[in-house]
Structure 1
Amino acid sequence: MCVEPFKDCVRRLVSDDVSEEPVSCLISDAVSHFTQAVAESLKLPRIVLRTAKTRLEDPVVELPPLKVKDLPMINTLNIESFSQFVDELVSTTKASSGLIWNTFEDLEHSSLATLSQQFSVPIFPIGPIHKHNLAIPSRSSSLLAEDQTSIPWLNTQPPKSVVYVSFGSIVAISKQEFLEIAWGLAKSEQPFFLSRRGHIVKWAPQQEVLAHKSVGAFWTHNGWNSTLESVSEGVPTICMPCFSDQKVNARFVSQVWKAGLQLENGKLERGEIEKIIRKLMMREQEGDEIRVRVSELKEKADKCLKQGGSSYESLERLVSHIFSLETFTCHSQRPVRTVI
């Protein structure tokens, strides 16, 4: 259904209009596998962008400490159709001109090494991608209007004292779950603010909030963007994954990187919530060890983006790779664009 309208759109962009900069390549999400056929029909190289964690396709036996319950589950009655979709996602990725990952070497070195062996196309781990926006302070990646009133409130709180709670834009929480969360936060006696529902706002400027000196923990659903943003700012996490790759991300945060604590299924009750918040925030030994480890990850994330760092070098390779693509042989004297 998307193929023809998308092809028409891209065809207009790549038309030989001398007043426009020519298009060098198409960058599209791996899930949009139909874009590979469009790119090939227009003789346009395609580079795949993956915005989820890198280890979802590996067998469980190769991914300690994952448990079967951590595997992403898709509720569908048409298994054959879903299997075909996954096959097309993988095959079109392998047929692309490259693969971009929103991660960095020091965080997922072994996963990236495995992927390099499995895919013949060049791989570019350039994350944390949101950090590349820092050169443009007014730029936000949020699709929703951000409520800035949380920042003045945070300015009044002691350092590392606030629990920031946000479960993203699509997670559904029942009334009973919400009451347990509210009571658990209240009983912990820690200042907090809750995004979407302390201080309550509809939608917070998350990157700015996580970078604030008053925030001492992030209670999250563990979507990959939120996970990477918390690691990048050195903020310990309380993990409450709901679906898809969130359970995998949470297991790695709590068991591999040991940068947070996980609320296991069935333990979303006020007593357990109070206990886990206090463990993380009240200077207990386990909480102190987590803060040290996540601070080390923050330093590595900062270092990888600087000149000579792994993500800096990967981004340089990506730019060089785009310039080396076949379409440049026809437009070597003109500026170029990349369609994303």
Structure 2
Amino acid sequence: MNKLVLVPCPYQGHINPMLQLGTFLHSKGFSITIVHTQFNSPSSSNHPEFTFIPIPDGLTAPIVSSGNIIAILQTINASCEASFEHCLTTQIMKQDPEKKIACIIYDEFMYFPAAAATHLNIRTFILRTTATANFLARSTVIELHSKGLIPFPESVSSDPVPQLHPIRFKDLPISPWDTIEKFLELIVSSHDVRRSSAILCNTTVCLDQSSLARVQQHCRVPIFCIGPLHKITTAASSSLLEEDASCIEWLDKQAPKSVIYVSLGSVACIGEKELAEMAWGLANSKHPFLWVIRPGSITGSDWIELLPREFREAIGERSFIVKWAPQREVLAHGAVGAFWTHCGWNSTLESISEGVPMICKPCFSDQKVHTRHVSQVWKLGLELGDEFERGEIERAVRKILENSDGEEIRVRAKDMKEKIDVSMSKGGSTYNFLNELVELIMGF
């Protein structure tokens, strides 16, 4: 049994697919070691079949509390290069000398393993946990910046970016947390695939076929579309937040396809005004809703203290609010008719895989690219405008759950779900890529 070393990025949307991939590879006979940061470390109790090894990440309390994801990732990459190699040579390689490390699989934003792998002559794979179209969008940002075209003038923000239809300039994945220079340093490093044997993408050909050929030209190493990773295993939850399963009992009491599920993910925050507009838009739609409000996600509030009292009185038992939900179970529930999402890639894939139409309100970065593909390319949902406005929210909920436009979206969503199911069945593209990946690793 050869050993595989997996290095996840310490954010929810990156940890989940890496551990799902690890669960699949373990089922094929590989020993799995997870090397992770002390920051946002995954729970080892959910995966007793893995070995978990934390390494010093160099993060200080001020950096973490700043919420500056760019600074956090750059600090980790600068600090972990030496400690990772030390971990490999003094722990992992000595634990069972008879078993060699077949390869290291690391998240594209955790590129520090590349140096140690080169030094120790160990093969590497890069895992990308987002749509392949994002690689093209990020590459475009690099090119535009090199020509002095970023920041771009407000007058062109709604114009389409040449060769990136339907992406507009304002949809380009530019980080809100740091300078454009710091952001591009991270992106350039994450795009360096020269020392990797292949790129593993948490996507499937039926979704990303239009982008794949162009990305392949850029990367010059094999690309394996092995997603949706959440569907290839029945892995235990690796949520960093405690899931409240009581919402499932509430969903059991609702009519089929009547509920809108609302969740803006594990990072995004909104203000009091946006909270009120969301609340009244949902209430005025007259549809039942399950709303995830993450503690600390409302600026100036611990949880839901800022929700208007009249709103709580108006909705009665027509709503259910939780701090965090078992999302995959929620989206698979027959009562859920639509998903208001920030369009993080895991959420997008989970919704598409269950045939659930989306209302898209991206918060930052890659989510804008996903939103444009959901609404304009795959036509599996609606995009809300730039402002949180209760009337628009009410109309979007009614449109997707009640009228003929919504019915057309539901038909397309059901069709895409079936295509994904086919890709994962014997002979399908994902099925074949996964088998090729196992054979490739066994050949090292």
Same fold flag (TM > 0.5): yes
| Alignment counterpart, residue 249 of structure 1, candidates 367, 370, 378 | 370
- Distance (Å, rounded) in 2 between the aligned partners of 1:184 and 1:80: 38
> Do the aligned partners of 1:259 and 1:293 also contact (CA within 8 Å) in 2?
yes
**Structure number with higher relative contact order (C-alpha < 8 Å, ≥ 6 residues apart):** 1
> Are the structure 2 counterparts of residues 307 and 141 from structure 1 closer, same or farther at C-alpha, using a change threshold of 3 Å?
farther
| Alignment counterpart, residue 288 of structure 1, candidates 399, 407, 411 | 407
Does 2:26 correspond to 1:26? no
- Distance (Å, rounded) in 1 between the aligned partners of 2:355 and 2:182: 41
> Are the structure 2 counterparts of residues 82 and 245 from structure 1 closer, same or farther at C-alpha, using a change threshold of 3 Å?
closer
1:132-281 mapped onto 2 (5 Å cutoff)? 132-134=232-234, 136=235, 139-196=236-293, 198-266=319-387, 268-281=388-401
> Do the aligned partners of 1:146 and 1:204 also contact (CA within 8 Å) in 2?
yes
> Are the structure 2 counterparts of residues 228 and 76 from structure 1 closer, same or farther at C-alpha, using a change threshold of 3 Å?
closer
Q: Could you say which residue in structure 1 is the equivalent of 2:184? A: 83
Amino acid at match of 1:240: K
- Distance (Å, rounded) in 1 between the aligned partners of 2:98 and 2:249: 45
- Distance (Å, rounded) in 1 between the aligned partners of 2:427 and 2:91: 35
Q: Could you say which residue in structure 2 is the equivalent of 1:94? A: 194
> Are the structure 2 counterparts of residues 195 and 84 from structure 1 closer, same or farther at C-alpha, using a change threshold of 3 Å?
closer
> Are the structure 2 counterparts of residues 46 and 57 from structure 1 closer, same or farther at C-alpha, using a change threshold of 3 Å?
same
> Do the aligned partners of 1:14 and 1:22 also contact (CA within 8 Å) in 2?
no
Amino acid at match of 1:253: V
Amino acid at match of 1:140: S
> Are the structure 2 counterparts of residues 77 and 239 from structure 1 closer, same or farther at C-alpha, using a change threshold of 3 Å?
closer
> Are the structure 2 counterparts of residues 111 and 230 from structure 1 closer, same or farther at C-alpha, using a change threshold of 3 Å?
same
Q: Could you say which residue in structure 1 is the equivalent of 2:164? A: 63
> Are the structure 2 counterparts of residues 78 and 263 from structure 1 closer, same or farther at C-alpha, using a change threshold of 3 Å?
closer
Equivalent residue of 1:203, what SS? coil
Q: Could you say which residue in structure 2 is the equivalent of 1:103? A: 203
Q: Could you say which residue in structure 2 is the equivalent of 1:337? A: none
| Alignment counterpart, residue 38 of structure 1, candidates 84, 105, 116 | 116
Post-superposition CA distance 1:136-166 (Å, at most 9, x none)? 5xx1132211100011111111100000000
- Displacement of 1:120 in angstroms is 2.0
- Displacement of 1:17 in angstroms is 4.7
Q: Could you say which residue in structure 2 is the equivalent of 1:126? A: 226
- Distance (Å, rounded) in 2 between the aligned partners of 1:43 and 1:174: 50
Quick check: 231-240 or 5-14, which moved more? 5-14
- Displacement of 1:321 in angstroms is 1.1
Quick check: 161-170 or 189-198, which moved more? 189-198
- Distance (Å, rounded) in 2 between the aligned partners of 1:123 and 1:7: 26
Runs of 5+ consecutive residues of structure 1 not aligned to the other structure: 326-340
| Alignment counterpart, residue 113 of structure 1, candidates 202, 213, 218 | 213
Amino acid at match of 1:114: R
- Distance (Å, rounded) in 2 between the aligned partners of 1:140 and 1:273: 31
Aligned pairs, number: 319
Post-superposition CA distance 1:65-87 (Å, at most 9, x none)? 11101001124665545434333
> Are the structure 2 counterparts of residues 171 and 82 from structure 1 closer, same or farther at C-alpha, using a change threshold of 3 Å?
closer
- Displacement of 1:20 in angstroms is 6.1
> Are the structure 2 counterparts of residues 261 and 46 from structure 1 closer, same or farther at C-alpha, using a change threshold of 3 Å?
same
- Displacement of 1:89 in angstroms is 2.1
Equivalent residue of 2:102, what SS? strand
- Displacement of 1:112 in angstroms is 1.4
- Distance (Å, rounded) in 2 between the aligned partners of 1:57 and 1:19: 38
Amino acid at match of 1:254: S
> Do the aligned partners of 1:164 and 1:219 also contact (CA within 8 Å) in 2?
yes
> Do the aligned partners of 1:13 and 1:23 also contact (CA within 8 Å) in 2?
no
- Distance (Å, rounded) in 2 between the aligned partners of 1:165 and 1:76: 25
Amino acid at match of 2:441: I
State TM-score, norm by structure 1: 0.90
> Do the aligned partners of 1:218 and 1:237 also contact (CA within 8 Å) in 2?
yes
Quick check: 195-204 or 238-247, which moved more? 195-204
- Distance (Å, rounded) in 2 between the aligned partners of 1:79 and 1:151: 42
- Distance (Å, rounded) in 2 between the aligned partners of 1:34 and 1:168: 27
> Do the aligned partners of 2:174 and 2:183 also contact (CA within 8 Å) in 1?
no
State TM-score, norm by structure 2: 0.69
| Alignment counterpart, residue 306 of structure 1, candidates 414, 417, 425 | 425
- Distance (Å, rounded) in 2 between the aligned partners of 1:146 and 1:61: 42
Quick check: 233-242 or 315-324, which moved more? 315-324
CA RMSD in angstroms, aligned pairs only: 1.6
Does 2:126 correspond to 1:48? yes
- Displacement of 1:95 in angstroms is 2.1
Equivalent residue of 1:238, what SS? strand
> Do the aligned partners of 2:174 and 2:180 also contact (CA within 8 Å) in 1?
no
- Distance (Å, rounded) in 2 between the aligned partners of 1:214 and 1:82: 41
Post-superposition CA distance 1:27-77 (Å, at most 9, x none)? 001111221111111211110000012112324311211110100112466
> Do the aligned partners of 2:341 and 2:362 also contact (CA within 8 Å) in 1?
yes
- Distance (Å, rounded) in 1 between the aligned partners of 2:324 and 2:166: 33
